[in-house]
Structures are given as structure tokens and as C-alpha cells.
Amino acid sequence: MTDEESSRITDFMSANPDIERVEAVFPTINGIYRGKWIPADDIAKLTNGSLRLPVSTYALDSWGIDVEASGLGIINGDPDGIGRAVPQTISRVPWSIAPTAQIIMTMTMRDSDNSPCPYDPRQQLAAMSRRFSERGLTAVIATELEFYLIKPTGPSNPRPEPFREITTGNLNHLDQMMEFEPVLNEIRAACEAQMVVADVMIAEAGMCQFEINFKHLADPLRAGDQAMLFKRIVKGCARMHGMEATFMAKPFGEDLGSGLHVHVSVVDKAGNNIFNPATNSPASADNLRHATGGLLSSMAELQAIFTPNQNSYRRLQAGLFAPDEINWGFDHRAAAIRLPEIKGPASRLEHRICGADANPYLTLTAILGGILHGLDNKIEPGEPITSENEQVRNHLSKDWAGSVRNFANSDLAKNIFGEQFHHVYVTLRQHEISEMAKIVSDVEFAVYLQGA
């Protein structure tokens, strides 16, 4: 850590002398926040590289259990990695009872080179950002995240219920937003406190469903950090108001799912948008098309990142503003890849297939990897869909196991994420698929118990 980065942490603590602890937050492959509480008087652990955590923490399954087949955990001695603080993410935690701060952590290995931990999702995105930099390029990213506000759940009531019954359509309904003004204001204030540059807030179509759009950032890592922090913000603020928040892709079978939409443009060293045909670059007229082609051609192989769990696949239904086909269109919200602007400095594409349950770091890594794949190989996207021409290229997979097989057999996925991460991710998903297959649902009891 540089002196400037270290000073950022110590200056924050000096400016907030009431802070009693700092939460060191390690976002895992499954997007679960794990880590440690550090007493304020032991804050040097964040600046001197003495904070450690088992490398296997990143690959725990959704139940928090080691997956032996991954090769991580007690099977290899469960070694530690070194936690590295991300200084620009230190901020207060408004929803904590005791005065608390938090900081996002990344990890390096305890080897001679302090190499990046290959299982750390943030390190995956950092590596992809370096690939862009090596080409003199920078990705400019804005995310959009949808979520539901629900009644508190527990062992006696595990099924989610909208926090309030709403009899009218919720989409863009300002009066509905006023009903939730206290918690939405709290979310906005927490975003400001944690330097999450939220932009527009809207009521979405689902009952008690909302969406936050974030401003465009010429820093993929910061965009990933903000999406991770935002999920924590929403859940924390919801609890303060007697609610829960969920980013589950499809919490209600009869209502709309929640998505993670990603807008991407790419700029060169001079700051020119390479997707803008007016830049006078011979290739600029082709770049957006080839980037789109790369995303489409890689989508089936990388879908296991975009739709990471069993529930994710329930969201991919035609006619519900979630794409179920691998296609693209000009300003077409049924398309997997939407091109909202194709001329001028705002020229960009929008990737629309991810559920809100996707890991933002891994999602951005896969999307940027697909874009490079298209640019490097000049991949054509085919014809766009229109209202008159609903061209079907290929259906997105509705099968979790099939998506994981596609990812497992993909050389492109190995190239994007590296062999070590690829092995662990496939093993983790195969394990969870196997575990979920053992669970007999209440619906099966209701339908089949007496009928067989």
C-alpha cells in the first residue's frame, strides 16, 4: 500500500474518532460478504498487510461450507491469503448500532510475488481491466440494479411477501415512491456517505420493486465496488425500517424478476469513444458492431456467470422485459444486447441478461472479456431484432446444469478467468446443483405425496 493510500485510511479514522470498529469486507464468488471486525485501535492491520483470511473463503458454497472437490479448504491445509484494503472504499456504516466503518478488501497470495488471488472476484476484474489498458483502452461502465422491498422473513415464514400490497401498476409511479420515501431517502443518503454515485431512482413494474441507476465511470473496478456496496446499503437501510430487501432474480413467480443491466462504452487514450462513428477512426464504425458480436457469440459459454443459481433461470421469460434469446436490437428492451445510442459521445451497448443476483465483479469481467473477444476477432452480430422481425438466434439456456457444462467446456471462459478460477467456479456450481437436487420442495409434497 502506498503512503497516500495508507493516509487515506488514517485520515478517515482521524476525522471519525467515534468509530469503534471497521468491517473488513471480502466479497466472495457467490456475492456473500465475509470478513472480519477490526477494533478501531488496531486499524494498522489494514495498512501494514497483516490482515489474513483463508483463501478458501472466496469459494465457500451458498451454505458457507467448503467444497472439497475445489481443492481449497482443509484438503490443502486451508492456507491464508493477505487482505489488501481498497482505501477509497472506507466509509461509515449508517445502519450499524455501534459507530462502524467498512472497507472492501481484496487478496494477494502469500508467495514470493504477492500475486493476486485467482479466486478473488475483484482481482478477476482488475486483471481484465489491465487487458484493456494494454490495448490503450478503458471501459466506461454504468450499472442498473433492481430489488424488492419485502416483509421480514424467518424460519416460520420463509416465503417472501411484498412489504405492502399495491393495487395499481408500480412502474414509474411517483406516488408509490412517496409511500417508501423514508427508506428510499435513507438509501440515497447512505450512497452519498459511501461515495456510491447513484443517479436516477425509479419505481419498477413489480410490486414494491425499485431500481437505481448509477453514473458512468471510467473505472471498472470502482463500478464493481459500487454495485457490491449498493446491495449492502439497500439491505442495511431496509432493516432500519422494518423491511428486508432482496436482489433474488425471481422472488415471485407471478411478478417481474430483478435484473442487473450494464451499459458499456470504451474510450482510447485520447478519451475518444471508440464506439462513436464520428471519431474519424477507420475502425470506429465497426467497433460497436464487433463488440456486440463478441458478446453474442460468447453468451452461451459465459451464461453461468450471468445466471449463477437455480432461481436465476426463472427470470428468463419472454414478454417480461428479461431476454430469453441471444439477440440484439436498436433501443429494444426485449433484446439481450440493446444499443440505446449508436452515434455521438454516448454511443454504447447495454447487456441485459444478468439477474440482480449475479456477482458484479464477475459479471463485468465476463462482459468485458466478451467485448475484447469481439474486437480482436471482428465478430459480426448478425441482423438485429425489430418489432417486425423477431429474429431468434439461439435461446438462452433455461437449464442451470447445461449452462455450467457450457462454461466448463469453454476455452474462452478459461482464457478470461484463468484455469484456477475456472476449475473452482465449475466445481462450486456443480456442487450446488447436486445439493439443490436433494431438496424436496413443498410443492412436490402437495402435488405428489398422496397422488402417487
Kindly report the number of other CB atoms within 10 A of residue 73's CB atom.
19
Cβ neighbours of residue 134 closer than 8 Å, sequence gap 6 or more: none
Q: Per-residue b/e over 349-377, b at no fewer than 16 CB within 10 Å?
A: bbbbbbbbbbbbbbbbbbbbbbbbbbbee
Amino acid (one-letter) located at 280? N
Asked if the model's pLDDT at residue 414 lies above 80, the reply is yes
| Strand 209-214 versus strand 198-203 pairing type | antiparallel
The pLDDT value given to residue 275:
94
Which residues are bridge partners to 81 per DSSP? Answer: 53
The pLDDT value given to residue 391:
56
Q: Give the mean model confidence (pLDDT) for residues 287-313.
A: 97
Catalogue the E-assigned strands of 336-409.
Answer: 337-341, 348-351
Only one residue has cell 411484498, namely 162
Residue 126 or 171, more confident: 126
Output phi, psi for 70, to 5 deg. -70, -20
The pLDDT value given to residue 443:
87
Residue 178 or 398, more confident: 398
The pLDDT value given to residue 409:
98
Q: CA neighbours within 13 Å on the CB side: how many for 143?
A: 30
Asked if the model's pLDDT at residue 389 lies above 70, the reply is no
153-184 confidence digits (pLDDT tens): 988 888 888 877 766 666 656 667 778 889 99
Q: Where are the alpha helices (DSSP H) in 159-212?
A: 174-179, 181-193
Residue 360 or 255, more confident: 360
Lowest mean pLDDT among 53-67, 141-155, 219-233, 389-403: 389-403
Best CA proximity match to 55, nearest among 33, 22, 32, 28: 28
Q: Contact at 8 Å (CB) between 354 and 370?
A: no
| pLDDT classification of 3: cutoffs 50, 70, 90 | confident
Calculate ∠ Cα 63-209-170, nearest 5°: 160
The pLDDT value given to residue 290:
97
Q: Give the mean model confidence (pLDDT) for residues 23-50.
A: 94
The pLDDT value given to residue 323:
87
Q: Report CA-CA distances (Å) from 218 to 88, 162, 185, 431.
A: 15, 36, 27, 37
Residue 172 or 144, more confident: 144
- Long-range contacts of residues 415-418, Cβ cutoff 8 Å, at least 24 apart: 415/369, 416/128, 416/302, 416/365, 416/366, 416/369, 417/124, 417/365, 417/369, 418/118, 418/124, 418/127
| Strand 52-54 versus strand 198-203 pairing type | unpaired
Task: Round the average pLDDT of the chain to a whole number and report it.
Answer: 91
Residue 122 or 210, more confident: 122
* Ordered structural domains, the chain, with CATH: 3-117 (3.10.20.70), 128-417 (3.30.590.10)
Asked if the model's pLDDT at residue 392 lies above 60, the reply is no
| pLDDT classification of 27: cutoffs 50, 70, 90 | very high
Lowest mean pLDDT among 185-199, 269-283, 392-406: 269-283
Residue 298 or 281, more confident: 298
The pLDDT value given to residue 255:
84
The pLDDT value given to residue 104:
97
The length of the chain is 452
